[in-house]
Amino acid sequence: MQLSVVIIGYNSWHFLEKNLDSLAFLYGDPQMEIIYVDNASTDGTPARIRQRYPTVRVVENRKNAGISVARNRGLSLASGKYIWFLDSDTEITEPALHALLKFMDETPDAGLCGCKMYGQDGQVQDSCRKFPSLRGKWKAAVHIILRKLSGNRLAPSRCLQAYDTNQENPFEVDYVIGACQLIRREAQAKVGLLDEHIFYGPEDADFCLRMKQAGYAVYYLPQISIYHAYQRISSHRLFSRITREHLWGLIYYFWKHR
């Protein structure tokens, strides 16, 4: 099998309907499979997917154990040469997928790649970044707090650790966010699973760092693009459980990699 698409979600039907519709060209292709892992949704998502998209393999977790656990469960079931992590709030096109696969086939040192993503505002997102730093995270947190206190009158800041995406050709980066990661299965087998100590947060940076430590490169393809609604749930609710989990994930990441 060539490709296994792994999507996870939690009460995400309002996004998943568009996401799975955009993947319709894969249905019925014996070289492709789609695996959806549900993190204990209460909005009826699994039943809706089974009814409307019968070729999608649906797996249900008994509780919301976080991103890493859910994606690892999808990985354990996937049989493709490539694994494609997609967030539930993405929408893709057939040309984008074929271009990503072509790049991976022609670039043997690539363990993982991502592409340009446009948000609801039509702007290019900071989806390829340098590894997290204490300075960068501190400045980002201060800006988020000030923006909340101003009633969102302050403009969102560009990620301080992002790359310039105004380029024409693929280039190597530290990491690409987990909303869209096309992974070489051979590389993943060498690197291992996502770190399940991270519930939500830098699991994507950690995975890409370990990919590089294993001798593979991580690439960003600016000539290919998809849509990503980008929920940013940790910055929307500053004092929620997900924000605390994100903070703990960062603390763990910095401790783990010193």
pLDDT below 50 — which residues of the chain?
142-143, 145, 234-236
The whole-number pLDDT of residue 246 equals: 80
The whole-number pLDDT of residue 162 equals: 78
The whole-number pLDDT of residue 159 equals: 53
The whole-number pLDDT of residue 235 equals: 45
**Dist CA 42 CA 44 (whole Å):** 6
Tokens of residue 24, six digits:
């319709």
Q: Treating both helix axes as pointing N-terminal to C-terminal, what angle do 241-257 and 203-213 enclose, rounded to 10 degrees?
A: 20
The whole-number pLDDT of residue 17 equals: 96
Share the mean pLDDT of the chain.
89
The whole-number pLDDT of residue 156 equals: 53
pLDDT in tens, 35-48: 999 999 999 999 99
The whole-number pLDDT of residue 133 equals: 73
The whole-number pLDDT of residue 137 equals: 53
The whole-number pLDDT of residue 56 equals: 98
The whole-number pLDDT of residue 234 equals: 44
**Dist CA 94 CA 241 (whole Å):** 37
Chain-centroid distance, C-alpha 196? 15
pLDDT in tens, 101-150: 999 999 999 999 999 999 989 999 999 999 997 665 555 554 454 555 55
